[in-house]
Every structure is written in structure tokens, then in C-alpha cells.
Amino acid sequence: DALDFFYTSSIYQMMNEGIADMHCRSDGYLANLVKEEWKNKIA
């Protein structure tokens, strides 16, 4: 379920397309973005 969510998240789409210098962000920063998107989805 977690990977399914990640691969359909906007964060993954931005990373995949190379948008907004996501490659320069730390793992922790990216994980927090995914976590926030998850929270917003289930709210």
C-alpha cells in the first residue's frame, strides 16, 4: 500500500519529471512531503 501511494503521489511525479530541484532535497525532507500528502489524503 505504501509503495502504491508513493508512486501515485505528486511528490513522486515531481521527482520523476525533475521538477523543482527535488534531487537537491534531503531524504528526510522528501519523506515529510510524502507524509503530509498522506495525511491530507486520509483527512
Report the pLDDT value the prediction gives residue 18, as an integer from 0 to 100.
82
pLDDT at 16: 86
Is pLDDT of 37 > 90?
A: yes
Average pLDDT over residues 14-42: 87
The pLDDT of residue 23 is above 90: no
Task: Report, as an integer, the average pLDDT of 27-33.
Answer: 91
pLDDT tier, 39 (very low <50, low <70, confident <90, very high otherwise): very high
C-alpha to C-alpha distance for 4 and 17, rounded to whole angstroms: 18
